Amino acid sequence: MASNGIKDRVAIVGMGCTPFGEHWDKGADDLLVDAATEAYKSAGVAPDDVDAYWLGTMGSGVSGLMLSEALKLPYKPVTRLENMCATGSEAMRNAAYAVASGAYDLVMAIGVEKLKDSGFSGLTGSRPPSDGTDPSMTAPATFSLLAPAYAKKYGVDEATLKQVLARIAWKNHKNGAKNPKAQFRKEVAMDKICASPSVAGMLGIFDCSGVSDGSAAAILCRAEDAHRYSKHPIYLKALSFAAGPAEGFFSQDYDFTSFPEVVASSRDAYKQAGVTDPREQISMAEVHDCFTPTELVLMEDMGFSPRGQAWKDEQEGRFDLEGAQPVNPDGGLKSFGHPIGASGLRMMYEMWLQLRGEAGARQIKSPKLGLTHNLGGAPGRCVSFVSIVGNSLG
Amino acid sequence: MAGITRYGSYLPYNRLQRAAIGAGKGERTVASYDEDSVSMGVEAARDAVRGAPGIDTLIFATTSPPYAEKLNAATVAAALDLPRTLRSLELGASTRMGIGALLAGADAAAGGGRALVVASDVVIGAPGGGRESGSGDGAVAFVTGPDSEAIARVVGRASATAEILDVWRLPSDPFAKQWEERFGAETLGPIVLDTATRALKDAGVGPADLKTVILDGTNARAMAVVPEALRLKPEQLADPLLGSVGRTGAAHAGLLLARALDSSNAGDRILIVVGGDGCDALVLEVTGKLAAARPAHSVDRWLGSKRNDLPYNTYLKWRGILPFEPPRRPEPERPAAPPMQRAGHWKHAFFGSRCESCGTGHLPPQRVCVKCAAVDQMREERFADTSCKVATYTLDHLAYTLQPPVVAAIVDYDGGGRLSCELTDVDPKSVKIGNELEMTFRRLYTGQGVHNYFWKARPKR
């Protein structure tokens, strides 16, 4: 029984990412074609060179047929998968294991979501027939519970915490303003963020990530083959996943100041990658900032900040683009947008750019290890994915 | 002979001020957007069935059935966890059937059974009319049993049935109509008086012997002949609660009886006369058993627990009288029959499970213990009456609701167990961590023509 990892055995040799936003003029198939084409080009390969595909989408299509029909694939294997908001990352994780196993030589992980076709505001999921008793708390409501719990546990007064949350939104919008592919590309002033009407609890509009369409793709191969496709591949050091037992939904001990699933998946990822001090060794991270208090708690769950200190680290700018440990340098879910199936791969796309020195105005100086993280579900009942990547072996 | 062995009542939390609709003084009770005659009936019955074993019959009376064809009484029975072998009857079409149901319950008891009688109504009147401002929403419940256990014995009764066009409503009409009230008074009045007189004779009791007289009917003028004809004193007449509740349809006479029992003493005699398409009258004699059998909530306790700032347009939306802009959200899906059947004990009667291996409570019930991972070591446990409190909460301004904002809470139960739950009958400004709560049976929504019942939590009333 073990989670052995496949450190340094798989490389990403090409990536593509569409702009995220309200693409009224593009369907899911258009977005898939765009992202895939960019990824093939990035790896310098023809479509026929890719042996197998993993397609991530939560609600924009079913079956691998969705991809094979759009791309006119000649009878290649296509797995369609879903793991809530970790769907895109999950596509990559499974594609990586397939290529590491030797079953295939060159694979693609691609994620897509078309949230703007429904006409409804917010996420709408279709569920199997039910008995009508499922708790129906909205996503903003569930994540809003993190804020007062954090404030109470660590003795932070709520006005200060509100400022910290606003600063997280401000930081991510500031980063997004430097990103031509982000949905929202304007800086937003702190007082505008603080003045926005309440959505749930302490959270206003600017504390919530937006709803958008988009697609992103990665081409992977075994590390020893990477040189055939790219002079600057990036290497997967860790891939971890934790699906929780929903203990927080049943147990009175859960206090809404942590995600045990994130703690478990990040510990596993650090072990796989040989990271012993994440605060010092993780150069940059893309984390699941579906809501501002989520990012705050994630900093502690992932060991970037000691328990009860993340609010200070945020205030001091540690996680700013120019800070000691930039978090969400591409704008995060907050300003890049969150098309569910694509988000995990979009995060990896930023790590790809940063590790290859291609991040332009957002370039972080000499990053060594990057981390991507996705969370799906709600505090107390969720799944968590963590990956660690670097641009050199060892 | 037979009598009443237990009782309970229920008045909803919200009130509509008559001033808000230009209808004078006082207020009327208003069922919340998540209540109906079934959910209110369950609330009244919960107090009545505590400590009342062996119920073998359920009689449910309402003129506002949630389903026109599907036994609403079955939902009431499921929520109260009544036995599978229960006999059930459902009465309607006249507000007189509330007391009709009580008499039928007495008949069942006289035959050796024990009946739970539930009368409940959500009364809707056309905007601007007397029925709207003069009515109220509410429920009442009685358990009947043998004389030897009775808190009030039935000592006399009489009935009459008469075809009179007084109040009427087609199934497809939202609002009832009434013929000129003077006509109804002229034809129904004598029938009511005759029936009341026969009931008193049957009981061997004279008007002067009566402690309380309850008069209720579809035609107020018809009922008004009784006090004059029987020479009743003002203090004998039960307050009809028109200024604080309104006439609660099929529940009303029973509600006034419950209120009388809340303050009656052994030996008191009560006359109840209900008019409408005829008349039912009964005489009760209170016994020494009443004092020990009163319900946890008196009618006055429900009366005093209220929120009376309901805007009129909200009332109209709640009752479906006013169409309004829907949210940009999909319509709720109907709950599915097989999952509801499998989850019935949880969904309707609020049974969770407790691990016999480590004692951890689970809501909803589980097969695998979240704490010790034991499989199939669970026993069922009913959490409907378990004290609970707010562990944490949030006010959701985005979620769609007919009473914004949604108060979304994490509720912790004494002895273990936790549930993510919407709070109802609550002022959002007053919610605090640690607030004591109690569970209440509600109709969450209606999806694709199917009512979805479940439980919510509310601050203790």
Give per-residue pLDDT as tens, A183-194. 999 999 999 999
CA pair distance A210, A332, nearest whole angstrom = 10
Q: Which residues of A touch B347 (CB under 8 A)?
A: 131-133
With contact defined as beta carbons under 8 Å apart, do B436 and B426 qualify?
A: no
Paired strand residues for A179: none
Torsion of CA B107, B110, B112, B116, to 10 degrees: 50
* DSSP reduced 3-state for A237: strand
Reported as a pLDDT band with limits 50, 70 and 90, residue A119 is confident
pLDDT of residue B1: 74
- Residue A91 is part of a domain; what is its CATH number? 3.40.47.10
pLDDT of residue A122: 74
Question: What's the mean pLDDT in B305-319?
Answer: 95
Kindly state whether residues A217 and A247 are assigned to the same domain. Answer: no
Residues from A contacting B (CB-CB < 8 Å) are: 118-122, 124, 127, 129-133, 135-138, 140-142, 144-145, 148-149, 197-201, 245-247, 249-252, 254, 256
pLDDT at A124 over 80: no
Residue B261, pLDDT > 90, answer: yes
Same domain, A198 and A222: no
Q: Which one of the listed residues A290, A338, A373, A382 is annotated catalytic?
A: A338
Q: In the predicted model, what is the mean pLDDT of chain A? A: 97
A245 min Cα distance to partner chain B (Å): 7
Answer yes or no: is pLDDT of A178 > 80.
Answer: yes
A356: confidence class by pLDDT, cuts 50, 70, 90:
very high
What pLDDT, on the 0 to 100 scale, is given for residue A195?
95
Active site residue A85: yes
Check whether B110 has a pLDDT greater than 80: yes
The pLDDT, as a whole number, for residue B396 is: 94
Dihedral sign (CA A30, A35, A37, A38): positive
pLDDT for position A266: 98
Residue of B353, B367, B394, B448 to mutate when probing chain A, most A C-beta within 10 A = B394
A104 and A185 belong to one structural domain? no
Look at residue B82 in the predicted model and tell me its pLDDT. Answer: 97
Q: What is the pLDDT of residue B324?
A: 86
What percentage of residues in chain B have a pLDDT greater than 90? 95
Q: Which residues pair with A113 in a beta bridge?
A: A214
- B354 three-class SS: strand
Q: A264 and A179, same structural domain?
A: yes
pLDDT of residue B325: 86
Determine what percent of chain A is predicted with pLDDT higher than 90: 96
* Domain range annotation of chain B: 2-289+297-318, 344-459
Taking CA–CA distances from A247, the nearest residue in chain B reads B370
| Number of domains into which chain A is organized | 2
Are A222 and A205 in a shared domain? Answer: no
pLDDT tens digit sequence for B140-171 = 999 999 999 999 999 999 999 999 999 999 99
pLDDT tens-place string over residues A2-50 = 899 999 999 999 999 999 999 999 999 999 999 999 999 999 999 999 9
pLDDT classification of B328: cutoffs 50, 70, 90: confident
Q: How far B76 CA lies from chain A's nearest CA (Å)?
A: 17
- Residues in B closer than 8 angstroms to A124, CB to CB, are 329-330
Task: Tell the residue number behind the tokens 């001990």, with chain if given.
Answer: A253
- Chain A residues whose CB is inside 8 A of the B454 CB are 132-133
DSSP B247: B
- How many Å apart are CA B278 and CA B287, to the nearest integer? 30
| Digit-coded pLDDT (tens) for B185-237 | 999 999 999 999 999 999 999 999 999 999 999 999 999 999 999 999 999 99
Q: Judge whether B410 is closer than 8 Å to chain A, CB to CB.
A: yes
Q: By the CB < 8 Å criterion, does B366 face chain A?
A: yes
Strand pairing category for B57-61 and B115-121: parallel
Architecture of domain B2-289+297-318: 3-Layer(aba) Sandwich (3.40)
**Of A17, A23, A85, A173, which is the active-site residue?**
A85
Mutate to test the interface with A, among B396, B421, B441 (most CBs of A within 10 A): B396
Same domain, A175 and A103: no
* In the predicted structure, residue A123 carries a pLDDT above the cut 80: no
First to last CA, chain B: 36
CA distance B430 to chain A (A): 14
CA distance B365 to B362: 5
Question: In angstroms, what separates the C-alpha of B362 from chain A's closest C-alpha?
Answer: 6
Distance from C-alpha of A326 to C-alpha of A287, rounded to nearest angstrom? 11
Q: Please compute, for residue A192, the number of CA atoms within 13 A of its CA located in the half-sphere on the CB side.
A: 8
- Exposed, middle or buried, B417 (CB in 10 Å: 0-12/13-18/19+)? buried
pLDDT of residue A335: 97
Same domain, residue pair A226 and A293? no
CA gap A44, A156 in Å, rounded:
52
Predicted local distance difference test score (pLDDT) of residue B330: 83
Q: Do B416 and A256 touch (CB under 8 A)?
A: no
Which pLDDT band, with edges at 50, 70 and 90, does B407 fall under?
very high
Residues of B with Cβ-Cβ distance to A200 under 8 angstroms: 394-399, 408
Q: Is B330 on the interface with A (CB under 8 A)?
A: yes
Cα distances (angstroms) measured from residue B14 to each of B19, B255, B318: 15, 17, 12
- List, in sequence order, the alpha helices (H) in chain A: 28-43, 65-71, 87-100, 139-144, 146-153, 158-176, 190-194, 247-250, 260-273, 278-281, 292-301, 310-315, 332-336, 340-355
**Looking at the structure, do residues A155 and A168 belong to the same domain, yes or no?**
yes
A385: its two tokens: 């994915």
Closest CA to B433 of B393, B374, B381: B393
Place of tokens 């328990």: A307
More confident position, B189 or B329? B189
As a whole number, mean pLDDT of residues A328-343 equals 97
pLDDT computed for residue A386 by the predictor? 98
Q: What's the pLDDT band for A148 if we cut at 50, 70, 90? A: very high
**Within a domain: A336:** yes
Residue A102 main-chain phi, psi, to 5 deg: 90, -5
Tens digits of residue pLDDT in B60-94: 999 999 999 999 999 999 999 999 999 999 999 99
A242 in any annotated domain: yes
- The range of the structural domain enclosing residue A224 comes to 10-117+213-234
Asked if A338 is an active-site residue, the reply is yes
For the cut 90, the answer to whether the pLDDT of residue A59 exceeds it is: yes
| CB-closest option in A132, A197, A201 to B340 | A132
The alpha carbon of residue B55 and the mean position of all alpha carbons in its chain are separated, in whole angstroms, by 18
Which helix H or strand E contains B221, and what residues bound it? helix B220-223
pLDDT band at residue A228 using 50, 70 and 90 as cut-offs: very high
In a domain, A102, yes or no: yes
Same domain, A22 and A107: yes
- Residue B360 forms contact with A (CB below 8 Å): yes
B51 pLDDT more than 80: no
Is A277 found in the same domain as A219? no
A155-167 pLDDT, tens digit each: 999 999 999 999 9
Q: Is A131 inside any structural domain?
A: no
Same domain, A179 and A268: yes
CA-CA distances (angstroms) from residue B32 to B19, B65, B136? 19, 16, 12
Most distant CA atoms of chain A, gap in Å: 60
C-alpha–C-alpha distance, residues A48 and A63, integer Å = 20
Which pLDDT does position A390 carry in this prediction? 98
In a shared domain, residues A148 and A278: yes
